[in-house]
Structure 1
Amino acid sequence: MIESVLSLLSPLFASSHVRWGIGGSVLLAHHRLVEHPNDLDLLFHPDDFVVAEQILKQLGEQQPTQDKGIFLTRRFEEYTIGHVELDIIVDFKIQHTAGIFSFVFDETAVTEQVSFRGQRYPFMHLEDWYVFYLLMPGRESKVSLLEDYWKSHPLDAPQRLQIALAAPLPDSIRQRIEHIYRYAQ
């Protein structure tokens, strides 16, 4: 189901020059860390979201969004296409005890364009999602999954962790990122 939604969206985003990236459980599944993704998490470059939103509204149904709580993300929309739930994120920000973590979606946010059945899929960095999961409540299992993964795999983008370390972070999270940065290379 998720693959069919991605194969529907990918050419439409490409023809409209939308900069986007796939994260969350689909990213974890791409790296064979989980077997069944929960939903589809897509991040967009802020300049391209209006076009992306037009595409999404033609294909799916926008769902009512819930209280964002600690999330200060500029746009967080939930869509359903078929039976697939999509979380659409623009300008990801999360408030924590040491300040606000802001993710900048730029040309370095996507690590690879995977070709599959004639389509290209832009996957984000595991390192970025590690930081996101550390900051989000209730994601310890995904944090542990990634930490275990890096015990036997090198970091793909250690510079992404350096970028995160330059941001305000709670000490406990900073220490975990520094540990992974030192030992997973």
Structure 2
Amino acid sequence: MIESVISLLSPLFASAHVRWGIGGSVLLAHHGLVEHPNDVDLLFHPDDFAVAERILKQFGKQQPSQDKGVFLTRRFEEYTIGSVELDLIVDFKIQHKAGVFSFIFDETAMTEQVSFGGQRYPFMHLEDWYVFYLLMPGRESKVRLLEDYWQSHPLDAPERLQTALAASLPDSIRQRIEHTYRYAQ
């Protein structure tokens, strides 16, 4: 069902020139790290979110907003299409004890355009989601999943970890990223 929803939205986003990326558990599933994604996390370029939301409103139902917790994200909207939950994220930010981590959505935010059934899908970098999961409460299992994965697979985008290290981060997270950067190449 998740694939059919992404297949529905992808050509619509493409024809509207929406810059977007697939992350979260769908990204992990794409790399064979989880079998069943929980939901669909879609990040959007800030300039394209209004268009993306108009497209989604044609097919999905917007859900009530929930408490943001540590997230200082400018826009976070939840939609459902059929039984599939989608999280729409713009200007992704996470507050932590050393400050605020801000994700820059630019032309380097996508690692690849993967083709399925003649359509192309923009997947984000595992390395970015590793940093996100380190900063998000309750995501240690996903952090370990990625660290285990990199024991037998090289980093695809080590520069993404270098970029994260230039940001304000708690020392414990900085040390973990540095360790992963050194040993996963």
Fold match by TM threshold 0.5? yes
Structure 1, unmatched stretches of 5+, are none
Which residues in structure 2 correspond to 1:16-27 (within 5 Å)? 16-27=16-27
Q: Partner residue of 1:158?
A: 158
Q: How far is the alpha carbon of 1:44 from its aligned partner?
A: 0.2
Q: Partner residue of 1:12?
A: 12
> How does the TM-score come out when normalised to structure 1?
1.00
**Secondary structure of the corresponding residue to residue 169 of structure 1:** coil
Q: Paired residues, what number?
A: 185
Deviation readout 1:94-134 (Å, 9 max, x if unpaired): 10000000000000000000011011100000000000000
Q: How far is the alpha carbon of 1:65 from its aligned partner?
A: 1.1
Q: Partner residue of 1:172?
A: 172
Structure 2, unmatched stretches of 5+, are none
Q: Partner residue of 1:50?
A: 50
Mapped partners of 2:104, 2:57: distance in 1:
25
Q: Partner residue of 1:134?
A: 134
Mapped partners of 1:23, 1:92: distance in 2:
12
> How does the TM-score come out when normalised to structure 2?
1.00
Which residues in structure 2 correspond to 1:1-185 (within 5 Å)? 1-185=1-185
**Secondary structure of the corresponding residue to residue 52 of structure 2:** helix
Mapped partners of 1:169, 1:53: distance in 2:
31
RMSD: 0.4
Mapped partners of 2:15, 2:127: distance in 1:
29
